[in-house]
Each structure stands twice: as C-alpha cells, then as structure tokens.
Amino acid sequence: MQKKLLQQLNPSQQKAVKTIEGALLILAGAGSGKTKTITTRLAYLIDEIGIPPSDTLTLTFTNKAAFEMQKRALDMIENTTPHPPLLCTFHKFGLLFLKFHIHYLERKNNFTLTDREDTKKILKTFNNNLFPIPLLLSEISRYKNSQISPQEAIENAYSPTYKQIAKIYLDYQDFLLQNNRVDFDDLLLLPLEILQKFPEIAKEISHKYQYIMVDEYQDTNEIQYLLLKHLCFTHQNICVVGDDDQSIYSWRGANIQNILNFTQHFRNAQMIKLEENYRSSKKILEAANNLISKNKERLGKILRSTLEEGKAVEILHSSDELEEVKNLCKIIKKLLANGVEAQNIAILFRLNALSRSLEEGFNREKIPYTLVGTIRFYERSEIKDILSYFQVLTNIHDDFSLMRIINKPKRGIGKTTIDKLKSLAKAKSCSIYQLYKEDVTLETLLGNKTLTNLKEFFNTLESLQKYLKDSPQDFLDIFESKIGFCESFNKSNEEVERVSNIQEFYGIYREYHKHNPLMELEDFLNELALRSDQEDVEMRQQSKGIKGINCMSVHSSKGLEFDYVFIIGLEEGFFPMIKEYSNLEEERRLGYVAFTRAKKELYLSYVDSRFYKGNRANISPSRFLEECEVIYPKNSKYSLKTLENDSNFKKGDCIFHKIFGAGRILEITKSGKETKLKINFGGSIRNILSSYVKKV
C-alpha cells in the first residue's frame, strides 16, 4: 500500500484506518470522507497488516455503494489474490449464506428470490380484499423482523383483525415453502435462524471472517444487529461507520439505538469522530449544524467545512405552489443559462405528492427533468413475463411464475383450464408440472386439444432447460425463437416500446453473462431482485443518456450530492410531517440529510397555502426554517418567533392546531422524549404531539 494514500487522509481518518483490533465506531458526518476512510482501512488491513483478503467482510446497504467501495479498495490494494475481499450488501451476503447453508433448514438451495411486486400479487391471492396490501406487507415484515413465526402470530393476536392478518401470514409462508421461494426479509431472517440453531456454523463463519466492517450502521435493524453479533462469535474485530444524525429509516425497521449504544453492545469499543466536511460550503453547513443541534438523542459532533464561506442559504417565500414553481423555474433557468448542467441541480421534497406541480411547471417552461420514483423497469408487464419464464426454467415447480406465462404468448390455454389445473394440483398437494407428468386423467379433464397445447408448452420449457445447461451462450436467441415474445406484439407505438424494453433487457442479460460466465440464470435473477429503485433509475438514465433536473424525495436523495439543491414544502405538516406517531427528531434528521446534499447553493422554499388531497389550506412555515437560523426574506409576514410553542400544557387547556382548529386537552402522556396530547376537537378525539399545537 502506498504511503501517499495514508498521507491524503486527515488525522482522524488516519487514526480510524490504523485502529484495527477490537470494536470501533467511526462516527462520520455528512461529506466527511467515510467511503475513502473505510476503503483505505480495508486496503491497509490487506497490504500493511497482511490480513488475507478472504478473511475480511465488508457490508453495506446498496449495490451501488458496494460497487463503488469495491472499485476504490481494489484500486488501492497491491496484494491481489484470486480471492478478493467480500464486499456486498447485507441482503447479498444473506443470499450467498443461504446458498451454502439453507439445507440446514431442510430446504433446497435453488430457491427463487421474490421481489416486492410478486409478494403483493401472492398476498392478493389470500386476502379476498379484506385488508390493504401495504398493511399486510408491513405487518408480515414486522413479524419476520421480530422473529415471530406465523403460529406465534396467530396465538398472540390481540384482536380478530390481527388473527386474520396472522392467518394470511401463515398462508403466505406456506406458499413460499411449497414454491421454494424466499422474500427479502428471509435473506436476513433465515441466516440468523441458522446461526442461532447451529452454534458450530456461527463459530465457523466467525473464524472465516476475522475482520468485519459495516457501512451506514445507523440504518441497521434488530436482525442485522443480531447477525453481526453472531459473526463476531469468536472475536470483536468489528468496525462500523455511520452517522446517528442521518438515521431516517425507522419506518422500515432501522433502529437508531444500534449506533447510539454501539459502545455498550461490543466490549471495549472505541469511537472516532470524522468532523471535517469536504462537500458543503460553510454557510450550508452552518444551517445544517444549527438544525440538527436541536435534537437531544444524538452522540454529538459538529461538522467543520473545509471549503469557502459560500453563498448564504436562501429562503424562498411564495403565496402558493404555482408561484413556488415559477420562482424555482426563474432561478433554475438562470443557472442553466450560466452553464450549470441540469443533472447538478436537485429539487427535494418530503412528500412525493408535491412533485405534481413541479412536473407541470417544468413542462410549461420546457425545463428537462428526471423524476425518481416512476414505474421500475423490471416491474413493467413485458419484463415481468420474461422474468417469470426465467424463474420457471430455474424451478419448473414454481406455480406462481408458471401461472403468469402459461398462456403468454397465447397458446390456447385459457382461464377455465388454468383454474382446473390449480384446483387439482392443490387437491393433490403437487405442482402443476408434477400433475402433468403423473396424472393420466388430464385428457378427460381438459380435452385432447388443450392437453396437446399443455404438452407442447412443457416440452418447450424442457428443451429450453437443456439449452440453458448445454449452450448458455446461445440461450437468448433460442429462447426468443421458441417463445416468440417480440413477434407476438403488433406495431402500435405502445407495442414498439415494449419490444424495445425486451431487447434492452436481453442486452442486460448478455452483459451479465459476458462478465459472469460461470454464474447461472438463477444468480442473474437474484441479482436483479436485489437492485434498488435508485439503481434501476440510474442504470436506465445512463443507458438512454437522459439528463435533467433531479426531482426526488429526501429519502431517495440519501447518499447523493448536488451543486444546487432546492427543498420545497417546508411548511408545518409537510416538513416536518404531522402524523399521530410522528418522531420529530427523525423529521429533523431528514432535514439535516436534505441540507447536506447541497455543495454550493441551498434554497429553502415555503408557501402560504398549498392544495393537497383535494383541499386548499393556509399553512405556517416549517419550524426548521427558524431552527436552522437562516434569515427570512424581507417580504415574509412571519417573524422568527411564529412557531414558538409553550410546552407547559395542562389538562383542560384550550389549544389550536393548524388543520383541526381549536380543541381542549383531555389527557397528557409522554411518548419518548415527546409529550402526547389527547385532544377533543369538537367531538373528534385525536392524539397529537405537543410540538404541533399552540395554547390559545
């Protein structure tokens, strides 16, 4: 390892790189060079200390971050071997682990990874429209991440509603087992289950990975924490990098206590703070520091900018969302005219619904933009069809995928036939392929013509499986010639686009096979299922050369940076968002993340009234505008004290809420560090956090 690589680091970064024994928390602020630090540390372990690369494991949360870190680390490492260090996401590690160890749970290792869209469709088959699918997704994920089995969920259900949800959970789990499928939660849950049941495996894996590093530790959940504890079964050589001030994913299970209590969870743990920021100007960082300093639940650090003072953070005040987008367009047009590239500008919002006015305004002004969060490429109907074919070719007993493609393109196997096959297969507890192979009564049930079509379909699948095994390099050409997907579409504009999407997908598969000749089709499918929304969007933008203003939610912006950032919707109820169980500290962390995406200029926008969910309402500016201590524009009718709240509430006090109006406090309880009020708004009883109301 070249000495100059260490010399490029500041003293805190150097100390983090050289601290290699025992547990270490690198508390890395936004833009403080954490990726550079963690990759240099990996290179230092291998080149300077002599740790075999195969003895290291580095985990992160997105494929993009893993790829970037791997590229940086390999560029630094001189001691290259045939076995490079394993650097991947938690879910990819779980996938690899299960390939080698799922047989301990008496399951086969040729399982299919079920993506979110397929999970929704599976749940619909058991739901009978009883519950919203997002609710089922959330509850089943909560059960799994709490290590609660379906049987336990049924036994401990505290209401008839939750007993029904638990029964759907049971049906869903049975379906996954019968079709040899795993979902995303299983990629963490099942490895943990194996490590807990078989300590000898935990010991073996811990011996294998003597040095463990974890990126974005503030985003870990309870299961990931427990997995790491088992991976440290024989040692305490774990280094985690994270920022408690950027913990923004509690809604999907992230537990900020993991990073706050790291030094209690791992014995003799050290903490090193990275507080020098290399991204944002001093003015931007000053506003971000002022905002996050209002949080109580944090380890505490103060970021210092290494850059120039920069332009003051600007607050934009508009009467409504129409004027807001006009003001944005005016500034953006000026930036573009001065040579700023569109992709270096971002507009962030707390609620996706706020993007509508942006789209309309940009279209009017002919400003190019990219909206992150539109339909994913791999969720398009024609792509899902091909993916289902591929899944059946890897597991011909996968009835869920089979049902999607059994009559695509049309081959004379209609809904009546499909229903008969499903019913008979269910009655005989076998797959439809087994039914076709073993049941001699099918001709009587289906008729000769339909049975001939079914036979031709399965013969095609069997021949494709053979080509896949014997001639993988020719597989795609043979697949298209035998299935004829592209030929099945007519020449309308919509169909031409579908053919274009299919050909793009074929190109992605060819590239994968070219770079991974030893990997099998199921590996390709699982790699795709692990892609994030953001990676999908970026991949397609790069392939099509799309460039425009980046419009995205604050959550989607995490990990990105832009020269010019506009944050819209900075009003009470929108940002911070008001919900019954709102966590104001997490909302503030979201604000901190949004502020620190900006490198050169930051604009904070609020309006007097906004149209939302069919109503127009007058709203107050966000308390974050006061807390970041940026000067309000002169034309604002609000003073810096507008949002001041009196926290000394008493039962019986009259209060005012900006949406629900006047009410009277019935009950006061503590909710974490917040005070929760039960309030009677003219007969409507609601629980509201005290920071969202004012005394009358």
Percent of all residues in the chain with a pLDDT value above 90, rounded to a whole number: 48
Q: Is-contact 115 124, C-beta < 8 A?
A: no
Residues 6+ apart with CB under 8 A from 590: 248, 350, 554, 555, 575, 576
* 624: Cα separation from own chain's centroid: 26
Instruction: Please check the confidence at residue 674 and state whether its pLDDT lies above 60.
Output: yes
Cα–Cα distance for residue pair 127/135, rounded to 1 Å: 11
Q: 37: pLDDT confidence band, cut at 50, 70 and 90?
A: very high
Residue 393, beta-bridge partner list: none
How far is 344 from 548, CA to CA, in rounded Å? Answer: 9
Planar angle of CA 547, 371, 324, nearest 5 degrees: 105
How far apart (Å, rounded) are the C-alpha atoms in residues 572 and 570?
7
The average pLDDT across 569-596 equals: 88
Q: How deeply is 650 buried, as exposed, middle or buried, from its count of CB atoms within 10 A (0-12, 13-18, 19+)?
A: exposed
Quote the DSSP letter at residue 297.
Answer: S
Burial class from Cβ neighbours inside 10 Å (0-12, 13-18, 19+) for residue 195 reads: buried
* Model pLDDT, residue 640: 39
Measured CA to CA, the distance from residue 632 to residue 643 in angstroms comes to 13
Query: Dmax of the chain from CA atoms?
Result: 85
Phi-psi region of 384 (alpha: psi -120 to 50; beta: other; left: phi over 0): alpha
Q: CA 90: distance to chain centroid?
A: 12
Question: What is the residue whose two structure tokens read 């493609």?
Answer: 405
Give the Cα separation of 135 and 118 in Å (integer). Answer: 16
Contact by Cβ (8 Å): 391, 525:
yes
Alpha carbons 607 and 323: distance in angstroms, whole number: 9
pLDDT at 494 over 70: no
Instruction: Give the range among 232-241, 335-344, 578-587 with minimum mean pLDDT.
Output: 578-587
DSSP of 431-480, one letter per residue? -HHHHHHH-TTHHHHH-HHHHHHHHHHHHHHHHHHHHHHH-GGGHHHHHH
Distance CA 236, CA 212 (A): 9
Q: Three-state SS across 130-157?
A: CCCHHHHHHHHHHHHHCCCCHHHHHHCC
- Residue 278: helix, strand or coil by DSSP? coil
Chain-wide mean pLDDT for the chain? 86
Residues 6 or more apart whose Cβ sits within 8 Å of residue 503: 486
In whole angstroms, what is the distance from residue 605 CA to residue 318 CA?
Answer: 8
Q: Is the peptide bond before 633 cis (omega within 30 degrees of 0)?
A: no
Average pLDDT over residues 248-264: 91
CA 376 vs CA 116, 384, 450, 535: distances in Å: 12, 11, 35, 10
CA distance 304 to 284: 11
Q: Which two tokens stand for residue 448?
A: 């000769």
What is the distance between the alpha carbons of residues 531 and 63, in angstroms, rounded to a whole number?
7
Ramachandran angles phi, psi of 10, nearest 5°: -80, 170
**Residues marked as catalytic:** 34-35, 215-216, 246, 597
Separation of alpha carbons 17 and 42, rounded Å: 8
User: CATH second-level architecture of 305-368+547-628?
Assistant: 3-Layer(aba) Sandwich (3.40)
Identify the three-state secondary structure at position 648. coil
Q: What is the pLDDT of residue 303?
A: 92
pTM equals: 0.76
pLDDT band at 580 (very low <50, low <70, confident <90, very high): low
Q: Which strands make up the sheet holding 598-607, listed edge to edge?
A: 314-318, 598-607, 562-567, 345-349, 549-553, 369-371
The backbone torsions φ and ψ at residue 491, rounded to the nearest 5 degrees and listed phi first, read -100, 20
Among 536, 559, 581, 483, which Cα is nearest to 251's? Answer: 581
Q: Are 317 and 606 in contact (CB under 8 A)?
A: yes
**In angstroms, how far is the first alpha carbon of the chain from the final one?**
67
Question: Residue 609 corresponds to which amino acid?
Answer: S
Minimum mean pLDDT range among 338-347, 619-628, 645-654:
645-654
**Shortest CA distance to 560 belongs to which of 348, 295, 312?**
348
504 or 388: whose pLDDT is higher?
A: 388
**CATH number of this structure's domain 379-521:** 1.10.486.10
Question: For residue 509, what are the CA distances in angstroms to 22, 331, 479, 482, 519?
Answer: 42, 42, 13, 18, 11
CATH code for the domain defined by 1-95+190-274: 3.40.50.300
Number of other CB atoms surrounding residue 493 within 10 Å: 7
As a whole number of angstroms, the distance between CA 357 and CA 346 comes to 15
- 112-179: CATH architecture: Orthogonal Bundle (1.10)
489 compared with 592, residue with greater pLDDT: 592
525 band by pLDDT with thresholds 50, 70 and 90: confident
Q: Coil, strand or helix: which one is 547?
A: coil
Distance (Å, rounded) from C-alpha 389 to C-alpha 46?
A: 43
Structure-token match 């008001």, residue found: 578
Enumerate the known binding-site residues for ATP: 28-35
Nearest residue to 380 (alpha-carbon basis) of 476, 547, 499 = 499
For residue 669, the cross-strand partners are: 676
Question: What local confidence, expressed as pLDDT, does residue 227 receive?
Answer: 96
298-326: pLDDT as tens digits: 998 999 999 999 999 999 999 999 999 99
H-only helix segments in 566-688: 584-595, 623-627
3-state helix, strand, coil split of the chain in percent (to 5) is 50, 15, 30
- DSSP state string for 574-602: BTTB--TT--HHHHHHHHHHHHTTEEEEE
Q: Do the first three CATH levels of 1-95+190-274 and 379-521 match, i.e. the same topology?
A: no
Averaged pLDDT for residues 232-247: 95
Q: Fill in the amino acid letter for 202.
A: A
Exposed / middle / buried, residue 285 (Cβ in 10 Å: 0-12, 13-18, 19+): buried
**In the chain, where are the structural domains located?**
1-95+190-274, 112-179, 305-368+547-628, 379-521, 653-695
Cα(195)–Cα(193) distance, rounded to whole angstroms? 6
- pLDDT range class, residue 441, cuts 50, 70, 90: confident
**Range of 22-36, 545-559, 650-664 with top mean pLDDT:** 22-36
Strand, coil or helix: what is 305?
A: strand
- Type of residue found at 341: E
Provide the token pair at 363. 């279209």
Please tell me the predicted confidence (pLDDT) of residue 255.
92
Per cent of the chain over pLDDT 70 is 91
In degrees rounded to 5, what are phi and psi of residue 9?
A: -95, 150
Band of the pLDDT at 591, cuts 50, 70, 90? very high
